[in-house]
């Protein structure tokens, strides 16, 4: 949610930002908010003037009564009573206008950074940089589900019986490798100075609407029937929600945390759920990082955070690249975002394994997260980034460490989490 002052002072810029995001249907909201805000401030001003007049007249009543001017005092009492009724009406009007403004403001997208490339969708995202040389061996790399099957590590048939499409059982060395990657991701971020956390895996609706747009919520979140609770789609949601309504001391910033959680997503949309493999599923696990900081420190943290993800994947011998997300591919609360993509030697192309975003103070405004400074309270800047989301990270690992005999190399960084093994052999 943007600062309403931006609409008051430069509503044409807000409209231009909406056009850059190809959401022209939202353009009328800007004028609507602008006019509602004028009406709200007018109601507030009139209410304040009447309160001042009421206080002045109320003080006069006591004076008149002491002077024995009872009739005159009674007359003023009636005036004061009339003021009270008018104030009540104006207050109700102000509250109703505030509600309407908030509803509209929750839909107006955040102002994107000036260097964000303009484009309608993810096909217009721009490659930034490549890390590691993509390598395609002279032998065939099987589909990742087939690699897992050779290792007796995947059972989607049983998961289909217990849970339906979009779920899976991981077993044996594959399950251990999956957990090892997550444990390594946890320790990797702790070594970077981030505080480790395991958050709640369900959050209330006011936290959901605080961290994401309504469109994202409908497409992603599973609601718990009969309760005001949603299963998280990423631990960023509950980690940012941890600070809801809090005033943080300036000297306590920045706050840098890394969190583990399972994640649950409907995956509604044209892409659908993957039948055989593990690329797009309803349930996965993730190591996330979030930062709360001062506005002026935001971009420095943004660049550090995506670089941590690149460093993590390179330590596992996985070539990656970064993509700058274009305007049409940015979720409404985001100022700027880049995807980290891993190379697939099987497909001879890159695929997404993580995403880093800076959201300005949009989430902080929705959730009431502020910092206490010497010159008053200010909203903080929030950022989030994927360290590892797996099975996607597992897919990248298996393909890039696959040998002609079906074995999987274990890089040195991961061996302590795999009982010292340097290789997994097919069964």
Per DSSP, the residues of 244-270 read: TT-EEEGGG--EEEEEEEEEE----ST
> How remote is the C-alpha of 186 from its chain's centroid?
20
Interval 334-359 mean pLDDT: 97
User: Is-contact 291 256, C-beta < 8 A?
Assistant: yes
DSSP state of 144: H
Q: Report the chain's mean pLDDT, rounded to a whole number.
A: 93
pLDDT at position 269 is 55
More confident residue, 266 or 272: 266
Interval 1-14 mean pLDDT: 94
pLDDT band at 127 (very low <50, low <70, confident <90, very high): very high
pLDDT band at 73 (very low <50, low <70, confident <90, very high): confident
Q: Is residue 113 part of a domain?
A: no
Q: What CA–CA distance (Å, rounded) separates 107 from 102?
A: 9
**Domain with 85 in it:** 4-105
**Is residue 165 located within the same domain as residue 202?**
yes
CATH of the domain at 273: 3.30.930.10
Q: Is residue 31 part of a domain?
A: yes
**Is residue 87 located within the same domain as residue 151?**
no
CATH of the domain at 10: 1.10.287.40
Q: Is residue 116 part of a domain?
A: no
Interval 227-240 mean pLDDT: 95
> Based on the structure, what is the number of domains in the chain?
2
**Is residue 61 located within the same domain as residue 135?**
no
Interval 39-68 mean pLDDT: 82
Q: Considering only 84-88, 265-269, 358-362, which range has the smallest mean pLDDT?
A: 265-269
Residue 401 has pLDDT above 60, yes or no: yes
**Is residue 358 located within the same domain as residue 392?**
yes
**Is residue 268 located within the same domain as residue 339?**
yes
Q: What CA–CA distance (Å, rounded) separates 231 from 282?
A: 11
**Is residue 94 located within the same domain as residue 138?**
no
Interval 173-179 mean pLDDT: 97
**Is residue 280 located within the same domain as residue 388?**
yes
pLDDT band at 55 (very low <50, low <70, confident <90, very high): confident
pLDDT at position 217 is 80
**Is residue 80 located within the same domain as residue 132?**
no
**Is residue 74 located within the same domain as residue 211?**
no
What are 196's strand-pairing partners?
258
Q: Is residue 316 part of a domain?
A: yes
Q: Considering only 212-216, 278-282, 338-342, 403-407, which range has the smallest mean pLDDT?
A: 212-216
Interval 219-247 mean pLDDT: 94
**Is residue 129 located within the same domain as residue 95?**
no
Q: Is residue 110 part of a domain?
A: no
pLDDT band at 271 (very low <50, low <70, confident <90, very high): low
pLDDT band at 274 (very low <50, low <70, confident <90, very high): low
Which tokens sit at 5?
Answer: 């002052």
Q: Is residue 322 part of a domain?
A: yes
**Is residue 126 located within the same domain as residue 64?**
no
Which one of 46, 79, 105 terminates a domain?
A: 105
pLDDT at position 245 is 96
**Is residue 145 located within the same domain as residue 68?**
no
Q: What CA–CA distance (Å, rounded) separates 203 from 224?
A: 10
Task: Decide: helix, strand or coil at residue 140.
Answer: coil
pLDDT band at 125 (very low <50, low <70, confident <90, very high): very high
pLDDT at position 53 is 83
Q: Is residue 114 part of a domain?
A: no
Q: Is residue 300 part of a domain?
A: yes
Which one of 105, 136, 163 terminates a domain?
A: 105
Q: Which residue has the tokens 């019986």?
A: 161
The model's pLDDT over 143-163, given as tens digits with 9 standing for 90+, comes to 999 999 999 999 999 999 999
pLDDT at position 175 is 97
pLDDT at position 51 is 85
Strands across the sheet with 230-231, in order? Answer: 202-203, 230-231, 222-223
């Amino acid at each position: 949610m943007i600062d309403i002052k931006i609409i008051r002072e430069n509503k044409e810029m807000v409209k231009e930002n909406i056009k850059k995001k190809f959401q022209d249907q939202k353009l009328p909201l800007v004028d609507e908010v602008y006019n509602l805000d004028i009406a709200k401030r007018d109601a507030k001003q009139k209410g304040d003037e009447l309160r001042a007049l009421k206080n002045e007249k109320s003080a006069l009543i006591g004076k008149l009564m002491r002077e024995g001017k009872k009739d005159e005092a009674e007359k003023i009492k009636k005036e004061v009573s009339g003021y009270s009724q008018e104030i009540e009406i104006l207050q109700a009007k102000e509250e109703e206008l505030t509600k309407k403004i908030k509803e509209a403001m929750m839909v107006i997208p955040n102002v994107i950074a000036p260097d964000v490339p303009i484009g309608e969708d993810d096909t217009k995202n721009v490659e930034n940089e490549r890390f590691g040389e993509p390598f395609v061996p002279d032998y065939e790399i099987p589909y990742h589900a087939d690699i897992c099957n050779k290792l007796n590590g995947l059972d989607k048939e049983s998961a289909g019986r217990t849970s339906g499409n979009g779920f899976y059982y991981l077993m044996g060395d594959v399950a251990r490798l999956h957990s090892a990657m997550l444990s390594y991701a946890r320790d990797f971020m702790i070594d970077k100075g981030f505080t480790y956390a395991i958050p709640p895996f369900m959050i209330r609706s006011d936290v959901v609407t605080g961290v994401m747009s309504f469109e994202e919520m409908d497409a992603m979140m599973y609601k718990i029937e009969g309760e005001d609770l949603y299963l998280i789609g990423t631990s960023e949601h509950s980690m940012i929600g941890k600070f809801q309504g809090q005033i943080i001391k300036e000297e306590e910033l920045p706050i840098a945390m890394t969190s583990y959680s399972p994640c649950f997503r409907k995956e509604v949309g044209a892409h659908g759920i993957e039948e055989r493999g593990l690329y797009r599923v309803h349930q996965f696990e993730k190591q996330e990082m979030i930062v709360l900081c001062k506005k002026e420190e935001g971009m420095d943290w943004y660049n550090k955070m995506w670089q941590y993800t690149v460093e993590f994947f390179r330590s596992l011998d996985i070539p990656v690249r970064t993509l700058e997300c274009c305007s049409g591919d940015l979720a409404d609360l985001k100022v700027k975002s880049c995807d980290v993509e891993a190379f697939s030697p099987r497909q001879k192309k890159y695929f997404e394994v993580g995403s880093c975003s800076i959201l300005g103070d949009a989430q902080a405004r929705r959730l009431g997260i502020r910092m206490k400074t010497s010159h008053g309270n200010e909203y903080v800047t929030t950022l989030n980034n994927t360290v590892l989301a797996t099975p996607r990270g597992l897919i990248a690992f298996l393909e890039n460490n696959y040998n002609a005999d079906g074995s999987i190399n274990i890089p040195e960084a991961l061996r302590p989490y795999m009982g010292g093994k340097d290789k997994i052999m097919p069964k």
